[in-house]
Amino acid sequence: MISLLIAGAVGLLIAIFGTPYAIRFFRRREIGQFIQEDIKGHAHKQGTPTMGGLVFVVAAIVGYLLAHVRVWTPSSGLGLEFQPLQPGGLLAVFALLGMAVVGFLDDWIKFSNQRSLGLSKLVKFGGQIAIAAVFAWGATEAGVVTEISFVRPLGIDLGVFFVAWVLIMIAGAANGVNLSDGMDGLAGGSAVLVVASYTVIAFWQFRNPDVYQGVDPLDLAIISSAMFGAILGFLWWNAPPAKIFMGDVGSQAIGGLLAALALLTNTQLLLVILGAIYVAETLSVIIQVASFKMFGRRVFRMSPLHFHFDLGGWPETTVVIRFWILTGIGVALGLGFFYGDFLRLEGIL
């Protein structure tokens, strides 16, 4: 428990005090957000510093590492000691950092070309494939269960298709978070809740090793806690009106970490409920595109979904807070399924 508190506190402090420096740094270099012309009412955000996700990515990783440092132990007393990093935690950090690199390249190309288009779809997809392949190999070596799972493995072994499933999870989660990153604090606030739920899930699995088959759940709880604190610190500056945006480097990193946590804790399909807002945002885009191509009509005023309500007259803060509430409901429901399954296994339900 102390490790989790250290990770969260370090992540929070670095992000909340480091983000103002990032704001000044990016502003001096005129590294700002490009706003699509068809997004009415958001033109004033043009030029707001972006790539703030770099701060909370670094904060989370530093928090994770420092949580493994001990200055005192009951057995040896005072003395500097570094607890070994576990494969599960390192895999989660790899997914976080790898997807952050993809997002950073996307952001950098947007800035360099002074437009809202970054990496081509082919290049971005290629990067995600590479990350998924390495992650799947590492997870298999670490002993991950290659079955499809909800709150526990469902007995449907994917075998060699596990790599494809990893790609779907990572790309789907990253794109879902990225699509929700269109209003001040929307992606950050929802991500805080989902990441916090994985801190609870992973720590519960650590406390009940006879029930669950997660890969190094304590280390997963530590990186989750570190990311929770880091995003919370960033949200202080990203809340409406945002002083800085997370950019693709932040949204891709969050998505990569969430997918990794779901895969390593064997709660893959549970992520659909915990991150229901990301699913809704993604589905709104798919439905909009399919409807327009097939019937020449739009289902929503604009997609992703939050812009539909924005154009319908909801103030931005109303959309953001209501989406936070919906995310909270999804998280409560997901944790309820997780804990209910545990009670059933224990014979209490």
Residue 49 has a pLDDT of 87
| Distances from the Cα of 100 to the Cα of 171, 246, 276, angstroms | 13, 11, 22
Reading the chain (349 residues) residue by residue, the pLDDT tens digits are: 789 999 999 999 999 999 999 999 888 877 766 555 555 555 455 668 888 999 999 999 999 999 998 776 666 666 677 888 999 999 999 999 999 999 999 888 887 776 666 678 888 889 999 999 999 999 999 999 999 999 999 999 999 899 999 999 999 999 999 999 889 899 999 999 999 999 999 999 999 999 998 899 999 999 999 999 999 999 999 988 889 999 999 999 999 999 999 999 999 999 999 999 999 999 999 999 999 888 888 888 888 988 888 888 899 999 999 999 999 999 999 999 999 999 998 777 6
Answer yes or no: are the C-beta atoms of 282 and 176 closer than 8 Å.
yes
Sign of CA dihedral 14, 15, 20, 22: positive
> CA 32, CA 29: separation in Å to the nearest integer?
9
> CA 253, CA 162: separation in Å to the nearest integer?
21
H helix or E strand, kind and range, residue 153: strand 153-157
HSE-CB for 131 with a 13 A CA cutoff:
32
Tokens at 285, concatenated? 């885009």
Residue 197 has a pLDDT of 97
Task: Please report, to the nearest 10 degrees, the dihedral formed by the alpha carbons of residues 341, 342, 344, 349 taken in order.
Answer: -100
Answer yes or no: are the C-beta atoms of 245 and 33 closer than 8 Å.
yes
Residue 10 has a pLDDT of 97
